[in-house]
Structure formats: C-alpha cells, structure tokens
Structure 1
Amino acid sequence: MKPLVLTLTLTLAAAPAAAGCKVEYKAKRDDPLRLEYGIVEIPQSACTPEAAREHVEKLLAGRGWTLLKILSVRSEE
C-alpha cells in the first residue's frame, strides 16, 4: 500500500500547474484483503462523477486494485 500512496503523491507533486480534478477514492485488493484511501489528479475533461469513476477505475485496475467508492470530485479551476 505504501508504494501506491508514494506513487500517487509523487504523481500529484510532478503534475503540471494546469487545472485538473482531484478525486478521493476507496479501493481494495484481494488475497490478502488490503484497503486503500487515495487522492488522484485526473484531467479536467473527466471532472464529472461518471467520467471520474471510469477514469479512476481504469487507473487502479492497471495497478491491481478495484475501485470501491468515489468519495469526492473537486475541480482545481
């Protein structure tokens, strides 16, 4: 879990100053069960709840995680 949090933190720190969206989420990984809370920045074009969910699901699935819930979507404009 720590490597993913570190990766997300570094990604946010290295992101350009362009406006985007920050999404808070909860995710899980099975066998053994691990739970995760995270914040990720996504493009402004994906700043609707439906688009944010789709974007974060794909991002997490590529890392072996399953999205449980989107907690908030905040525009950075």
Structure 2
Amino acid sequence: MIQPTKDEIRGWLSEARNELRSERFRRRLLEHELCSAKRALGNAVLKGQINVPIEKLGELVLKLQKESETEEADM
C-alpha cells in the first residue's frame, strides 16, 4: 500500500480547513438572515400588518425556543 506524502496530507488538511471556514461563514450569514427575517415578521405581527391567531403565535414561539435550546446544546 502506498502511503501519502506529507505534502499531500498538508494539502488535504488545508482544503479541509478552507472548506470548514467557508461553511462557518455561510452558516453565520444564514443565521443572521434568519434572525433578521424573524425580527421583521415579529414587527409586522406586532403592528397588526399580519393577523396571526394567539394560539398559533404561541406554538411558533415555543417551537423557536426549542430549536434554539437544541442548537445551544449541540454546541
């Protein structure tokens, strides 16, 4: 079996690091966009521009809270 050279291993590690950085950047960007969308939607609901029943709004808030807690536990 032929073993990879140190240069090949370094190249693979470099590629993996770059991919991880880009994934982190994309995730942060998407999380920021999601947060902005939630804030805009919440403001529209509070201003009465969007009519959402109280029960449905409560369910959405609980779901978002559970997702948030799950993400924090995963980190």
User: Please, what TM-score do these two structures have when normalized by structure 2?
Assistant: 0.29
More strand per residue: 1
More helix per residue: 2
Compare CA radii of gyration and give the structure with the larger one.
2
Which structure has more RCO (C-alpha within 8 Å, separation ≥ 6)? Answer: 1
User: Please, what TM-score do these two structures have when normalized by structure 1?
Assistant: 0.28
